[in-house]
Structure 1
């Protein structure tokens, strides 16, 4: 596995966020990410009070997902935007509240199709970090530098973490 030695996170205590978007249940083996974004992108202009122009790719993993990984294990993925306050939810879209909490935020430059960055984060950085995954949504914030599948694309990968319990 290629290492990403320069990819070191900053730790941020993030406030709760309100998101509006679309979601689909899927697995790694039956990835529906492209369909999810094709469904959401034409609808995003219906959201009347976006907090910014950033897009959010959010993944909600069930408890124990990473303990017994299987390619067909299901999770829920969202394509969304952040909104201020109690924004109206257009018909056919859904709201998601991302709870406040500590995140390790990685500034990643590279193709969104290169899964090695997640392997590095989860299999190298996390075990050596003094943190464990927290049971909150995982975020990818796709800002102005994001260019899907482009090797020069920029995004922020937000990993929900909490301090590793003493003795583990």
Structure 2
């Protein structure tokens, strides 16, 4: 699996989040609550959707699938001047990311993540950094269509 290494410029997002764990996945509930309201968000940068995970520092040390994190559904905005009711802001700080393309239905995404964390990352010169992880879904994203594509952004830093 190939990675594209990118330095991300800071991004401002507006959306909703839910506390969840890998064993208690509430992604469907999150997106069901977000999608009907996303059009009330003004000054969006583009039509891309962001699915993000904000983990506590050291979340992947002694990994526990029951440990909770924030799961976000969001869009990128130019500024935070008009934040709709029931929405929150999230700032993704600038930093280094490994970017992967997941090809195929969203339901098969776990296979791509497994390859990233079990094969690519251990064999790279990088380790996971404590910044948001996210997927970008643009016009190529078609949910459960076998021709769907989405970008997966993993925050990285050089190994010590």
TM-score per shorter chain, which class? over 0.9
Count of aligned pairs: 159
Query: Which region of structure 1 is more displaced relative to structure 2, 82-91 or 156-165?
Result: 82-91
Number of the residue aligned with 1:4: none
Q: Does 1:68 align with 2:45?
A: no
Q: Secondary structure at the match of 1:97?
A: strand
Query: Which region of structure 1 is more displaced relative to structure 2, 82-91 or 43-52?
Result: 82-91
Number of the residue aligned with 1:149: 144
Q: Take 2:61 and 2:140, find their aligned partners in 1: how far apart are those partners?
A: 33
CA RMSD after TM alignment: 0.9
Number of the residue aligned with 2:106: 112
Q: Does 1:98 align with 2:113?
A: no
Query: Which region of structure 1 is more displaced relative to structure 2, 69-78 or 135-144?
Result: 69-78
| Kept after mapping to 2: 8 A contact 1:48/1:87 | no
Structure 1 residue ranges, 4+ long, deviating more than 6 angstroms after superposition: none
Could you tell me the TM-score, scaled by structure 2's length? 0.96
| 1:1-168 equivalences in 2 (<5 Å) | 7-114=1-108, 115-165=110-160
Point out where structure 2 has 5 or more consecutive residues left out of the alignment: none
Q: Take 1:16 and 1:64, find their aligned partners in 2: how far apart are those partners?
A: 22
Shift of 1:120: 0.5
Point out where structure 1 has 5 or more consecutive residues left out of the alignment: 1-6
Shift of 1:111: 1.7
1:38-58 deviation line (CA, Å, top 9, x unaligned)? 000001000011100000001
Q: Secondary structure at the match of 1:43?
A: helix
Shift of 1:147: 1.1
Q: Take 2:53 and 2:65, find their aligned partners in 1: how far apart are those partners?
A: 15
Q: Secondary structure at the match of 1:113?
A: helix
